[in-house]
Every structure is written in structure tokens, then in C-alpha cells.
Structure 1
């Protein structure tokens, strides 16, 4: 079965967004309809997504989205975004607005389009607010965000808790993967070596990973966003809760309650297999 997917991302800061895009590009069962960007310099983020797709030999529709959260709060910007591509301004992105693009593509094929969202949820919240039918028409939202084993807020929810509250209150079918799962998986030197050998895309991703390691002063990283992609593409590697509800506090903290909703949280992962599958699919994205 072919999954028709839109990827909503804050690509360019943590390298995991770029890795998640590569996983989608390396998955033959995915029809990647397009990409929307969110949070901060969304034009730069869109150009990055275009560049990575082009390095994979693919043409991809990429529409910039919301730069600011729903309510005024500082945007976290690490400063290294796009630094490895001095000619990034040459990339031409697509016209339009991310929320309008999401509404249009989902409404054209009700029940057939999945959205993988791995950044702050501002684009999705704007789509739901502008067209309440969006929550009914999307097949499922696959979200990386939250933390469900304690009160510590996760970055995506903390960056726009109002947007997260709109999304989880919309009634859409949702699968969400929190930090308590994604931090169990690490990519290290051997994984990066395998990725780096996979043509121009792999070489660029290796450089991005190593840059992120320097930013964090580590020699490993958690592939948060690719894990969320795999919950859609390789569900056998995970277990999830029964349907329930997620609530999001004003500080971005998150809690799950079973029953009464259409949201599932991932509760466990076969971590070694997940890491290997991420690397395998990224390598397969090489043209």
C-alpha cells in the first residue's frame, strides 16, 4: 500500500528533520506529496528541504509556513541553520501558504493523506482553525512531540503550546511519539559512516550530523523525527496505547488519558531495529 504523505518540518536546526526527510525519500511505499516548513526562518528551511530532495535526485514541492507561534514568544534559533550550503539562496521554493496547501491537498483526497509533523504544530493549528473539516479529512497525523513520562516539556510543544492544544483538541486521528521513546535510540559513528557513503545526499547528511554533534558537544544524536516517520512506515517496530486524549499545558507539558479520543501514544520501540531501519532507508534514498 502506498502512503500519501505531507511532511511538516522545522528542518535545519536539529539534524533529525533532515534525516526524517531522507527516510521518506528512501521509502518506496511513500508518495511524498510535498513538504511544509514551520517556525523561524521558514524560507531558509524550505530551501534546505529543496536542497536535500535535489541531492536525492528528486523534485519536491516545498511551501514555507508560519514563522511565529500562535502567541508571542521567542523563536529558538541555533544559528548554524543552512551554514553548510553557501549557495542555498539559489534554491527556488514553491509559492503559497503552508496552511492553505495542507487544506487543499487533504480536502482533495479525504481519508487518503497522512501528515507527518515533526516541528512546532503552528501550521497544523492554522489549517484546523481555517478549515475545521481538515481534522476529519486527514487520514492520520503522525507527530513527534511531547513527553509522557513526566512533566518536562518537549521542544516542539513548548515552542507553541497553543498550537499543540488546538491540534490535540481537533478530533483528528493522531499517533504521537514522545521524548521518552525517541531518546532511547542513538545514532553513532558507524551509522554516520554508512550514511556518509550514500552518494551526495549521504555526504551532505553526514556533514549536517557532524555539525549538530559539534553544536551539542557529543558524538551521537537521537533521531527523534525519523522515529516518528517509522511509526507510520514500520508500525511493527512499535507498540502503542489504546485511543485516548492528549492535553497540553501552557508551558508545553503533555499528558495522556486513555479513552474518549482518537489519539494514540507510542509506548515502546524495538530500539536496535529502529536505528538500523533508519539508516537503511536513508542509504536507499541515494540516487
Structure 2
């Protein structure tokens, strides 16, 4: 863990540093590692997700401009978020799947999740999740570069908004140490709902820019589906493990991103 230091910078700046420093590999010096900075950081998590989504959309769009097909664009749009997080969210998804699938008591399940190897549940979940993301983006890029790009941005932002909601005060930490313990229970419910409202408004605006008559509604619904899927997983993990961990946060983010992309292909 980084040492806590004092700084005259405003809380919002510390929050942005915390969000980018813990949720991405983008250069951001985390000057404070305390509950106040964690609260601001998790409220800024959708901003980090927006940047990750824009990078993913840019990679997919660049390949299309260079003459590649929608499948390669989809692969690039899935690969970029993985690279920008060092695969930590995907690793958390696999570890959480192993913990949930182990059938062991909470303490043993948490021990399984901390192991460096990935078990069969984790491998299967990881493969299916990535296949679903690529397949959904392939279909969306096939409908036009703009639709695929907006989907990539929405998925990245909704995934990090799910982390904001997972950090609300009613959700406990499963362990006394680690990232989960630092951020768990830091975000007041009203602040979390405000962040959700802002992101959903952004989803509506992005959808409205597309040519479809109901795209604004479709994109808001896709974000809501993502948040519901993430909440279902979060509650399952809290019941199973007694709280959240860094791995659970990664699983929540990947679940939300996948659900959002799949939802955009429906209807």
C-alpha cells in the first residue's frame, strides 16, 4: 500500500488520482490512501471508466479506418480495457468465480480467491465473459462504427459506476486488509445515486446521438441492466463471503460491462 501523505490539493483531485491510480495503469500518483480519498475516488470511478471506454472505442475505430473488419475491432475494444487495468478486473472475475464455485465456507473460499492460480470455474467464467464481450461488440460494430464506439464507452463507464454503487455504506468488507477494505462502505447512498443519475443521463445523450429512434432509451436500459447484473453478483458475494474484496470489485466491473454490451445487442 502507498503511504498516506498530506496535500493541499482539493478532495476532487485526490479522488481522480485515487480512481485512475487504482483502477487503471494510466499515470496518476495516489497521494492519499485513506477512507476520505477512497470515497472521492470511488465517486470518480465512472470518470476513469469513461477514459478507458474512449480508449477502447478509439482502438476499435482505428482498426476499422485501417480496413479491418468488425471482428478485429471488437477484439481490440475488449483488449484495451484489459491492458489498461493490467487484467486485474478479469483476474478478480476468475478468482470470484472460483470462490463462489468452491462450495467451501467463507474463510476457505476467501483463501482460494487469494491463491495465484485459476481453477476450472475461473477459467470457464473468464472465457465465456470475453467471448460474450467480443461477440456483442462484433455485432454492434457490424451495425456501424459509431454504434460500436458508443457501446465500448458505455460499457467502460457503466462498469466503473457499478464499483461506485458497490462501495456504498451498506456494503461491508470481507477482509480487514486490501483494496476492498479501503473502499468498502465509503460512498454515501445519496452520492452514489447522484453519480448513477449523471451517468444514466450521459448514456441517454450518447444514445440520442445515434440515428435510431429509441437509441436513447436503449442505452439507458442497457446501463440499468448492467447495474442490476452487478448488484445481483454483489449481493451474492456479500452473502457468500461476508463482504467484498478487491476480487469482488473486479468481478462486479466485468459483469456490468458484459451485461451492458449484451443488452445493447437485444431488441
Fold similarity call, TM over 0.5: no
**1 or 2, which has the higher helix percentage?**
2
- With structure 1 as the length reference, what TM-score do the two structures score? 0.29
